[in-house]
Amino acid sequence: MPLLEVRDLTVVFERKGEKPFTAVDHVSFDVEPGQTVGLVGESGCGKSVTSLAIMGLLPRRGARVSGSVQYEGVNLLSLSDREMRDKRGRDLGMVFQDPLSSLNPVIPIGVQVTEVLERHRDMPRKKAMLEAAELLDKVGIPDPTRRLSEYPHQLSGGMRQRALIAIALACRPRLLIADEPTTALDVTIQAQILALLKELVHDLGTALVMITHDLGVVAGLCDEVNVLYAGRVVEKAHRHELFAAPRHPYTHGLLSSIPRLDAPRGEKLNPIRGSVSDNIPWSEGCAFAPRCPNKLDVCVRVTPEQEDIGGGRLLRCHNPVKPPVAEEVSA
Amino acid sequence: MLRYTIRRLIQLVGVVLVLSLLLFAWLRALPGGPVSALLGERSTPESREALTKQLGLDQPIFVQYVKFLGRALSGDFGVSTGVQPGDSALDIFLQRFPATIELSALAILIAVAVGIPLGYMAAKRRGGWFDNISVGGSLLGVAVPVFFLAYVLKDVLSSALGLPTEGRQDAINATRVTGFFVLDGVLTQEWDAALNALEHLILPAVALATIPFAVVFRITRAAVLDVLDEDFVRTAESKGLTAPTIRRRHVLRNAMLPVVTTIGLQTGALLAGAVLTEKVFSFAGVGQALAIGFERRDYPVLLLLIIMATIVYVVVNLLVDLSYALIDPRIRTR
């Protein structure tokens, strides 16, 4: 049984006097225990909203969430506020994008780690402090005992993100959601943080939902990948297959827009034309159609359904990219 | 921190010196004077001249000022001519200052105890009916003049609530230790006296508290709204912390900085409000003495009380600045 089973998750933002906006549109995916699943897409495709909906962190007013999020067989969306507070931090951990603003500036790091231990593991303060020092050590923060009494502004960006990871993993949750955890960091630090995450989820057997726009992160970390476009999953595949043979024109566009070191000099970059604002609503056809090089007439009339194309792959496209010939895949 | 405090206190000495000079001149520039106030309109020129001489007001102003400074250094701030004629200005201050402190402290306490929770609740329910009503109410709190509200409390509400409207305490034989009536009652375990003194404080304190309450409420509401949008509040939620922990440790702690600043600035407004409130409630505090002092041109009392008010204001705001460091570690390390 999957650890997390997201089915038809839909989030609609409603504001008085404005048209409701569907940020997440019938998104479904599974996360097996210990597995790392990527949610990939550009800004505004609904990946962060998906993670917040799973965590129950969307504002109660103005955001309508439907579908189901089964965690170990319990639908998280049906839990009360109190029950959800018991789950968050204990069964589900989350790491956010900006490590400076995600830490409370006026409270020592130590308290920010121990408060979650005291809350969920009933640890007395003293014992929690020892455990916190151990946690900071485990995420690679040198001199952890001293760091406990320091404040976020006294730590470097990478250290802060390590501290946040320590907080999220303090209670050994079975699922960790990381929402672009490296976006705000230097490139060298990014690699360290990714390596750390990889190592930790492996050691602890934690399942990881990795939310990112960076295909490099996906390549290094994820087992399964879900590509989101305008709130819907357009392609789902195993990491290797996705990189070797992207079928959706959007995925293909994303991959071919990455500049390559071995490309001939002077070769032009290969961006996806247009922007998200060119989208048409899914109800009228394929949202990606206006930007799609493979567009057919049918694309702007009929909404493509999600199809199982074999090998555990799902695809939502009328005119997918032809898979390369078999020899090329193995090469 | 220590160097900062010392520097601020040295600045205070300068401020007091300049202020005393200005006040000295300003007070004497007011129409009328202690002589007319004491002798009335039908006094003879001879008696006026004699009194003027006796008060030393016939000398050039800078001579008066230098003499005043010399005496002030040895703790002599002159003798009252109007508030309590014959008493030394310092005694009047020492007698009345505790009363005003009690009144202001209770007023600030009310303003903070009501304003902060209400501000938090309003922010949590932004745009809801509770928010709209309390924002409207706070606007009313700022807009209604203190003296009007004081009269309403005194003439309308006091009988309904059975609270006294005049003075600081009924004629109860209370022992004086510190001059703070409520505190004295507690210290000497004369509970009747303490309770009686407290009852006398309630209505004037409520009248005095309205403006600081409204300001504290609005600043708290705005600050909490800002903090609720912060990423670290979302992090706290993602940890599954209980609502009270998030409120106390993560939201309010961060929202307090502007609120504390406001409380400091409001002490100035409080002293201004005390003049009106104490007058209405015949409350024998510094404010009442200032009001009477102005009517009767009591130069020594006015000078001393205004300077002391300035010192209190500067010291309170220094304490506020120092408390930043307690609240925000980012200021501490700088």
pTM of the model: 0.84
Other CB atoms within 10 Å distance of the CB of residue A330: 6
Do both A58 and A204 map to the same domain? yes
pLDDT classification of B234: cutoffs 50, 70, 90: very high
- The DSSP string of A43-70 is TTSSHHHHHHHHHT-S-TTTEEEEEEEE
Mean pLDDT, rounded, for A209-220: 90
Checking if the pLDDT of B333 tops 70, the result is no
Q: Which of A105, A106, A115 sits opposite B239 (nearest CB)?
A: A115
Do both A236 and A210 map to the same domain? no
CB spacing of A151 vs B330 below 8 angstroms: yes
CB spacing of A90 vs B241 below 8 angstroms: no
The answer to whether position A322 is within a domain reads: no
Residue of chain A whose alpha carbon sits nearest to that of B125: A61
Interface list for chain A against chain B, based on CB atoms closer than 8 Å: 55, 57, 84-90, 93-94, 96, 98, 101-108, 111, 115-116, 119-120, 151, 153-154, 164, 167-168
Residue of chain B whose alpha carbon sits nearest to that of A51: B238
| Matching residue, tokens 């002077």 | A266
The mean of the pLDDT values for chain A is: 91
Spatial contact of A12 and A23, defined as CB atoms under 8 Å apart: yes
Question: B102: which 2 tokens?
Answer: 């009690």
Query: DSSP state, A230?
Result: T
Do both A188 and A99 map to the same domain? yes
Do both A167 and A36 map to the same domain? yes
With helix as H, strand as E and coil as C, how does chain B read?
CHHHHHHHHHHHHHHHHHHHHHHHHHHHHCCCCHHHHHHCCCCCHHHHHHHHHHHCCCCCHHHHHHHHHHHHHCCCCCECCCCCCCCEHHHHHHHHHHHHHHHHHHHHHHHHHHHHHHHHHHHHCCCCHHHHHHHHHHHHHHHCCHHHHHHHHHHHHHHHHCCCCCCCCCCCCCCCCCCCHHHHHHHCCCHHHHHHHHHHHHHHHHHHHHHHHHHHHHHHHHHHHHHHCCHHHHHHHHCCCCHHHHHHHHHHHHHHHHHHHHHHHHHHHHHHHHHHHHHHCCCCCHHHHHHHHHHCCCHHHHHHHHHHHHHHHHHHHHHHHHHHHHHCHHHHCC
Q: Which of B231, B241, B329 sits opposite A98 (nearest CB)?
A: B231
**The predicted structure's pLDDT at residue A54:** 96
Distance from CA of B239 to the nearest CA of A (A): 4
The answer to whether position A320 is within a domain reads: no
Do both A289 and A171 map to the same domain? no
User: What are the pLDDT digits (tens) for A67-105?
Assistant: 999 999 999 999 999 999 999 999 999 999 899 999 999
| Matching residue, tokens 């009747």 | B192
A265 φ/ψ sector (left φ>0, alpha ψ -120 to 50, else beta): beta
Mean pLDDT, rounded, for B87-111: 92
Residues 6+ apart with CB under 8 A from B195: B185
Do both A9 and A153 map to the same domain? yes
Distance from CA of A24 to the nearest CA of B (A): 20
Question: A98: which 2 tokens?
Answer: 């900006």
Closest CA to A63 of A106, A15, A105: A15
CB spacing of B240 vs A94 below 8 angstroms: no
User: What are the pLDDT digits (tens) for A31-67?
Assistant: 999 999 999 988 888 999 999 999 999 988 889 999 9
ipTM of the predicted structure?
0.89
Residue of chain B whose alpha carbon sits nearest to that of A113: B239
Residues 6+ apart with CB under 8 A from A315: A234, A235, A236, A247, A248, A306, A307, A309
| Amino acid at site B279 | K
B242 contact residues in A (CB cutoff 8 A): 85, 119
**The predicted structure's pLDDT at residue A225:** 95
Do both A33 and A182 map to the same domain? yes
Do both A141 and A157 map to the same domain? yes
Do both A136 and A281 map to the same domain? no
CB spacing of B237 vs A107 below 8 angstroms: no
The mean of the pLDDT values for chain B is: 88
User: What are the pLDDT digits (tens) for A147-197?
Assistant: 999 999 999 999 999 999 999 999 999 999 999 998 888 888 899 999 999
Do both A301 and A237 map to the same domain? yes
The answer to whether position A127 is within a domain reads: yes
pLDDT classification of A135: cutoffs 50, 70, 90: very high
With helix as H, strand as E and coil as C, how does B58-74 read?
CCCHHHHHHHHHHHHHC
> Which pairs count as long-range contacts for B158-162, CB under 8 Å and 24+ apart, including other chains?
B158/B203
The answer to whether position A216 is within a domain reads: yes
**The predicted structure's pLDDT at residue A331:** 41
- When mean pLDDT is compared across A27-31, A60-64, A114-118, the lowest value belongs to A60-64
Q: Where are the beta strands (DSSP E) in chain A?
A: 4-13, 21-31, 36-40, 63-71, 74-75, 92-95, 175-179, 207-212, 224-229, 232-238, 307-310, 313-315
Checking if the pLDDT of A327 tops 80, the result is no
Spatial contact of A180 and A210, defined as CB atoms under 8 Å apart: no
Residue of chain B whose alpha carbon sits nearest to that of A171: B239
**The predicted structure's pLDDT at residue A326:** 58
Distance from CA of A89 to the nearest CA of B (A): 4
The answer to whether position A193 is within a domain reads: yes
Three-state DSSP class for residue A279: coil
Torsion of CA A50, A51, A57, A59, to 10 degrees: -30
Instruction: Give the Cα separation of A105 and A162 in Å (integer).
Output: 16
Identify from B227, B233, B235 which residue to disrupt to test chain A contact, counting A C-beta atoms within 10 A and taking the largest count: B235
- What radius of gyration, in Å, describes the C-alpha atoms of chain B? 24
The answer to whether position A330 is within a domain reads: no
Instruction: Give the Cα separation of A233 and B204 in Å (integer).
Output: 66
**The predicted structure's pLDDT at residue A195:** 92
Checking if the pLDDT of A324 tops 80, the result is no
CB spacing of B242 vs A85 below 8 angstroms: yes
Distance from CA of A40 to the nearest CA of B (A): 22
Distance from CA of B125 to the nearest CA of A (A): 10
A116 contact residues in B (CB cutoff 8 A): 239-241
Torsion of CA B270, B271, B274, B275, to 10 degrees: -140
Mean pLDDT, rounded, for A213-233: 91
Please report how the helices B89-124 and B253-280 are oriented relative to each other, as an axis angle in degrees rounded to 10: 130
Do both A136 and A26 map to the same domain? yes
Identify from B239, B241, B249, B260 which residue to disrupt to test chain A contact, counting A C-beta atoms within 10 A and taking the largest count: B239
Q: List domains and CATH numbers for chain B.
A: 1-74 (no CATH), 89-331 (1.10.3720.10)
Mean pLDDT, rounded, for A226-242: 93
Largest Cα separation within chain B, whole Å, is: 85
Q: Which of A88, A105, A167 sits opposite B330 (nearest CB)?
A: A105
CB spacing of B238 vs A164 below 8 angstroms: no
pLDDT classification of A131: cutoffs 50, 70, 90: very high
Identify from A102, A116, A154, A180 which residue to disrupt to test chain B contact, counting B C-beta atoms within 10 A and taking the largest count: A102
User: What are the pLDDT digits (tens) for B275-322?
Assistant: 888 988 888 889 999 999 988 889 999 999 999 998 988 888 888 888
Spatial contact of B88 and B80, defined as CB atoms under 8 Å apart: yes
> Could you give the number of structural domains in chain A?
2
Closest CA to A168 of B68, B240, B290: B240
With helix as H, strand as E and coil as C, how does A238-278 read?
EHHHHHHCCCCHHHHHHHHCCCCCCCCCCCCCCCCCCCHHH
Instruction: Give the Cα separation of A54 and B284 in Å (integer).
Output: 63
CB spacing of A103 vs B232 below 8 angstroms: yes
Its domain, for residue A92, covers: 4-222
A85 contact residues in B (CB cutoff 8 A): 240-243
B234 contact residues in A (CB cutoff 8 A): 57, 96, 102
Spatial contact of A278 and A292, defined as CB atoms under 8 Å apart: no
Instruction: Give the Cα separation of B293 and B30 in Å (integer).
Output: 12
| CATH number, position A171 | 3.40.50.300
Do both A124 and A248 map to the same domain? no
Checking if the pLDDT of B81 tops 80, the result is yes
pLDDT classification of B238: cutoffs 50, 70, 90: very high
The answer to whether position A331 is within a domain reads: no
Backbone angles phi, psi at A45, to 5 degrees: -85, -5
User: What are the pLDDT digits (tens) for A237-295?
Assistant: 999 999 999 999 999 998 888 887 887 888 888 888 888 778 888 988 999 999 999 99
CB spacing of B254 vs A106 below 8 angstroms: yes
User: What are the pLDDT digits (tens) for B153-169?
Assistant: 888 888 788 788 777 77
CB spacing of B239 vs A105 below 8 angstroms: no
Host H or E run for residue A196:
helix A187-204
Distance from CA of B255 to the nearest CA of A (A): 11
Three-state DSSP class for residue A75: strand
| Matching residue, tokens 């209400």 | B118
The answer to whether position A323 is within a domain reads: no
Q: Which of B240, B254, B333 sits opposite A85 (nearest CB)?
A: B240
| Matching residue, tokens 């492996």 | A202
- When mean pLDDT is compared across A110-119, A224-233, B184-193, B199-208, the lowest value belongs to B184-193
